[in-house]
Structure 1
Amino acid sequence: MPQPEKVLTPDESPQHWFGAELRFWRKRRPGLHAAQLGPMVQVSSDVISKIEKGHYRCRRDLAERLDAVLETGGVLTRAWGMVFGDADRTRRQADSAHEGLVEGAIEVHRGRILGSDITAALPRSLPPVDRRAFLAATSLAAIAPIDLATLVAPAAPPEVPKQVRPTDLEQLRLIADGIHRWDNAQGGGGLVGDFASRSLEWAVRLLPVSCPEELRLQLLGAVARLGIVVGATHFDAYAHDDARVAFKIAAECAEEAGDWWLRAKTFSFLSRQASWLGDPDEGLTYAEKGLVRSDRLTPTIQAMLHSARARAFGKMHDVQGTLAAVGAADDAFARSNPAADPSWMAYYDEAQHNGDTAHALFDLAIHADQDPGRAGDRFGAAVAGHGDDYARSRGISRTKWASLLMAKGDPVQAIAIGHEALDDVGRLTSRRAADDLKELRQLAGRHRRLEEAVHLRQRITATLPA
């Protein structure tokens, strides 16, 4: 039997009044529950419930979509202006008048913000939109955003060629490079993840196409490379099943092509994913599979795999195993020669190496009472070495460094680094980065007497998705 809906208190605040107004208009559609309305306006049902209860601040674009779906005649958009518009103007004025944080204020990055990308599927029951009628119209006002999405949707997926050409291979390489670049700078959610999925689907459809013998290995290598970057993007967005499929495609293509470097890279990602998901034993197995015939791998690739082993041992809280794997990774990296590496390994520089090994040492410091300085020094080097092209890696390293100091060092320094981390992470669509922020927020809760720690926790809460 369904639970009765909570009685609302519209007199408590303007935000509560707005929520009650939303419920009034929803109830005018008999049988329409919050769980049904959410996907219709491209948010979760939980967001609708929180808005109605006054626990969540509605965005203007959402108010506009609610007006369109509930056919209110624009009531909610006008109400939004009265309830939230003044607050927005005040905040913009304050931001322009003051640089940096004002005492007592919470800085919130708006843009892409973690998890705010639209992931709900568009309803399929909407009537089709007449493209000619739309083109003849003079205004967007009469057409809902959800109808516009239907209007611009492609009628069919792109066609594959009748025979694989060198230009197709070049396109696969350029797309893989683009996804890798966008993923590292912005995170794997939103449009990046969607584009990645569509690109891999097109690439896989190339595999059975007639291909000249001299291009076959290149095709397999290009699809393997694309599978790796697509899998990494899905991993970052927590689409783990999709990530595993992409990595499996990459592994099969790399094996068939006889490309030991791409094979090793695939197993490195499978290792990291397994360890992240709480199965470090499987993660260790994948890393060691990648190291089979390590004589065929460059020192940089060996260092990457030993770092994956270290992260698996760290999750096991195995002190000796972790330290030995970090040592092996350091030894291999000391022999690195970028000129001998494939171009797609260029990301694994000193900053990346320090960040990867620091994560393993972080687990020892937090869970095995080991020296936190070893991890802290490496996080600091990673942060200093990563530029804006690797904003996600820099943001994650800053967040973990702040968590380490919050738990085992100077909380004041941790707070300063935590705010810097938010400057990076608040602009990303990375679920991994969001989870690291939650860990930092929890550790900051140990220092409730520090007003700055309370402020950091508030800012993290404001940055994370509801």
Structure 2
Amino acid sequence: MPQPPKELDPARSSRALLGTELRHWRMNVRGMSARELGESVHVSGDLILAIETAKRSCDEELVHALDAVLGTQGTLSRILKLVCADADRQRADADNRSPSPSARLHEGDGERILTGHASLAPNGTDPVDRRSFLAVSGIAALSTSGLSTLVTRSEPVPPPAVIRPGDIEQIHTAATVISKWDNHYGGDGMVREAASAQLQWAGALLQADCREDLRADLFAAVARLGMVVGAAAFDAYAHNDGQRAFRFAAVCAEEADAWHLRAKIYSWLARQQIWLGNPDRGLTFAELGLARADRLTATEQAMLHTARARAFAKMGEVQQTLSAVGAADDAFGHARAHEDPPWMAYYDAAQHHGDTGHALYDLALLGHDPARAQERLRTAVAGHGDEYVRSRAISGTKLASLLMTTGDPAEAATIGHAALDDAGHLHSRRAADDVRELGLMAGRHPGEPVVAELQQRVNATVKA
């Protein structure tokens, strides 16, 4: 009589989380035995079981094959990044030292100019060896290991003993600058490193003396910065760091009674969970954000209804997706830019059409009418300016992928080339994954020369 599967504990480690997700996709989603899955990826069923129980590790090539066979949309590959990051941190702890910036340049990630696996420490409890801003700049990228020590800060800069209004204004300025960098360059590399250091500094300010009349403003400013840092980490697939930053930001927003910030932070938490393959959890965050919707602007309500639509679409709930898109459209029809806080300036007509278009894209791949998704994605691509080049690249890539599947492959190739013009300058894991998806869609048209040319460019832009 076969033994029941061993109970798994995903909270035990990132490696255990990978095994738990693998078993979920194998058994609950695809209904495959370990032997069947092993044969599909050319390994033994025993190895599959060993990976699921965290007894054996899984390399990058195998995890990509598992994602492809199980149709996880990259879920296992994203978790493997956390496994690798944890392993790097453990090795660093064992050596009682942190890797130098120049050493991190050579870790196995061909998509990023600079890498860094140090965790955020927004509450100041984790030991983090942060380099100065210059240590993650082009100087470090070009230097030898000896020269890198010249730009390593030897003494930490202590936070002020008393909070002044200017300190709060500096936090807001940092959040604004990092958000602009994130939108323009992507959240990986230097952007993420600079963002992490800024949040560590801002978190330390919460321990300083602060006048009661400034306290809410201080917590709101730190919440906004935490939200921006979480967004950069999300884009870099540093999901553990991203979730910690978002949750830290949510606590600060609650402390400040900042309902507008709270809504935006929950929107980010929803989007991250949907991206990670947890749409039900993402839906919960979106609906938490909509609590006391009467306190939110119409734009914020539209943003959260869009998150609901994307969650429903990932779950294959057609009518609920369409209903959520309709609610988002109704709310956005009442949007007034002057009522919105500064961090909502990004959510214009292009962003609204792009986000709802992504939800309708998922329905189109399930066999539903693609026309509405195409129309919205076209509007998004046309409306995004250079300050939101990542959003334009992602919407353009989605549109090209949709046309490869449901429309004219030649037109898809033209749009795909334009999207690659944008994506090629980014340090964005999300954009890179969408480009890979476009390459897979292009593979369905092997006889089309223009499509083959696009596929070659995709392979040159990101790892196949």
* TM superposition score normalised by structure 1: 0.71
In structure 1, how many angstroms separate the alpha carbons of the residues matched to 2:187 and 2:249?
18
Which residues in structure 2 correspond to 1:314-393 (within 5 Å)? 314-367=313-366, 369-393=367-391
**1:402 and 1:440 in contact (8 A); partners too:** yes
For 1:285, the aligned partner's letter is: T
Higher relative contact order, chain-length normalized (CA < 8 Å, sep 6+):
1
Report what 2:69 is aligned to: none
Report what 1:464 is aligned to: 462
**Are 1:117 and 2:114 matched, yes or no?**
yes
Between Structure 1 and Structure 2, whose CA radius of gyration is higher?
1
In structure 1, how many angstroms separate the alpha carbons of the residues matched to 2:192 and 2:313?
29
For 1:247, the aligned partner's letter is: F
In structure 2, how many angstroms separate the alpha carbons of the residues matched to 1:144 and 1:237?
24
Report what 1:42 is aligned to: 105
Report what 1:424 is aligned to: 422
Q: Secondary structure at the match of 1:446?
A: coil
Give the drift of 1:41. 7.7
In structure 1, how many angstroms separate the alpha carbons of the residues matched to 2:435 and 2:336?
35
**1:115 and 1:465 in contact (8 A); partners too:** no
**1:117 and 1:429 in contact (8 A); partners too:** no
For 2:106, the aligned partner's letter is: V
Stretches of structure 1 lacking an aligned partner (at least 5 in a row): 1-35, 48-113, 122-139
In structure 2, how many angstroms separate the alpha carbons of the residues matched to 1:244 and 1:452?
41
In structure 2, how many angstroms separate the alpha carbons of the residues matched to 1:293 and 1:42?
46
Give the drift of 1:39. 8.1
**Are 1:276 and 2:339 matched, yes or no?**
no
For 1:374, the aligned partner's letter is: R
Give the drift of 1:155. 1.1
Give the drift of 1:307. 0.4
Q: Which of the residues 409, 417, 427 maps onto 2:407?
A: 409
In structure 2, how many angstroms separate the alpha carbons of the residues matched to 1:155 and 1:383?
46
Aligned pair in 2 of structure 1 residues 146, 465: CA closer, same or farther (>3 Å)?
A: farther
Report what 1:79 is aligned to: none
Q: Secondary structure at the match of 1:145?
A: coil
For 1:422, the aligned partner's letter is: L
Give the drift of 1:262. 0.6
Q: Number of matched residues? A: 343
Give the drift of 1:352. 0.5
Q: Secondary structure at the match of 1:43?
A: coil
In structure 2, how many angstroms separate the alpha carbons of the residues matched to 1:391 and 1:337?
24
Report what 1:301 is aligned to: 300
For 1:457, the aligned partner's letter is: Q
In structure 1, how many angstroms separate the alpha carbons of the residues matched to 2:275 and 2:152?
35
Aligned pair in 2 of structure 1 residues 313, 165: CA closer, same or farther (>3 Å)?
A: same
Q: Secondary structure at the match of 2:146?
A: helix
Stretches of structure 2 lacking an aligned partner (at least 5 in a row): 1-98, 119-138
What CA RMSD, in Å, does the superposition of the two structures yield over aligned residues? 2.0
Residue deviations 1:362-397 (CA, integer Å, cap 9, x gap): 000002x11111011001100111100000000000
In structure 1, how many angstroms separate the alpha carbons of the residues matched to 2:371 and 2:114?
37
In structure 2, how many angstroms separate the alpha carbons of the residues matched to 1:214 and 1:39?
45
Which residues in structure 2 correspond to 1:39-438 (within 5 Å)? 40=103, 42-44=105-107, 114-119=111-116, 145-367=144-366, 369-438=367-436
**1:287 and 1:309 in contact (8 A); partners too:** yes
Give the drift of 1:341. 0.8
In structure 2, how many angstroms separate the alpha carbons of the residues matched to 1:386 and 1:406?
22
**1:42 and 1:120 in contact (8 A); partners too:** no
For 1:43, the aligned partner's letter is: H
Q: Percent identity?
A: 55
Aligned pair in 2 of structure 1 residues 151, 255: CA closer, same or farther (>3 Å)?
A: same
Give the drift of 1:157. 2.8
In structure 2, how many angstroms separate the alpha carbons of the residues matched to 1:196 and 1:153?
17
In structure 2, how many angstroms separate the alpha carbons of the residues matched to 1:340 and 1:414?
38
In structure 2, how many angstroms separate the alpha carbons of the residues matched to 1:117 and 1:465?
16
For 1:431, the aligned partner's letter is: R
For 1:209, the aligned partner's letter is: A
Residue deviations 1:401-448 (CA, integer Å, cap 9, x gap): 000000111100000000000000000000000000000000000000
For 1:398, the aligned partner's letter is: G
Aligned pair in 2 of structure 1 residues 210, 321: CA closer, same or farther (>3 Å)?
A: same
